[in-house]
A and B are shown apart, each in its own frame.
Chain A
């Protein structure tokens, strides 16, 4: 079964305490990406990756880091979280191939930074 998993699903933390949200896909997709969703601001892309060791900034990369050492994993790292990073985060895995375009999202991680 095609799947994108994210962990943790819920996290409450304090300002400045480094955290990592993991994302893993089982479809061997080259493309992966991270989004955050905030009321009134909608969905915004944080980072994306077109393949192993290839990443690029989305719309709102400040305060986040990513790495893509293996095709299946794309962790999102908050080195020093701040309250304005309280949000709902989604990871996605994509296959963009004319006629078979598809994209799967993880279930989301709700992060609260106090």
Chain B
């Protein structure tokens, strides 16, 4: 069965610090997708990234970076030089490659960036 674990329920860091959000997944499939989403205090959901299991290259987008390691079944998300606007709940998720839109979510990590 598929499962996504975000062991960090809540994290607080001081602004400008780097922070890494952990995501560990379980799947019997050899091909799958991994996702990250952001939900700020205002409540909307924001898609951040989708990465397929064939592509283990790290991804960087501005201050955001993602580290995919198949060997440890992890897809961690790092925010560099955090800002107060990064305060949000972040969800990691997983889907099977042949069922693109059937997505299983982790329980989320609430990130507080302290000024």
Contact = CB atoms under 8 A, between A and B. Distances in A.
Interface of B: 43-47, 49-50, 52, 91, 93, 99-108
Contacts of A41: 107
A13 B82 CA distance: 42
11 contacts: A31-B101, A42-B107, A43-B105, A45-B105, A50-B100, A58-B103, A90-B45, A96-B101, A98-B52, A107-B43, A108-B45
Interface residues of A, number: 27
A65 interface: no
A42 B100 contact: no
Given A88-B43, A107-B43, A108-B44, 10 more contacts: A31-B101, A32-B101, A43-B45, A45-B102, A56-B99, A58-B103, A59-B104, A90-B45, A94-B101, A96-B101
| Interface pairs A-B: 6 shortest CB-CB | A103-B47, A105-B45, A48-B101, A43-B105, A101-B50, A42-B107
B44 to A, nearest CB: 6
Contact of A108 (B43, B91, B103): B43
A42 B105 contact: yes
A43 B102 CA distance: 12
A41 B101 CA distance: 20
A111 B110 CA distance: 24
Contacts of A50: 100-101
Interface of A: 31-33, 41-45, 48-50, 56, 58-59, 88, 90, 92, 94, 96, 98, 101-105, 107-108
A44 B105 contact: yes
A94 B100 CA distance: 10
Interface centre among A31, A43, A92, A101, by most chain B C-beta atoms within 10 angstroms, is A43
B53 to A, nearest CB: 13
Nearest to A32: B101
A48 B107 CA distance: 20
A49 B104 CA distance: 15
Interface centre among B50, B99, B103, by most chain A C-beta atoms within 10 angstroms, is B103
Contacts of B104: 45, 59
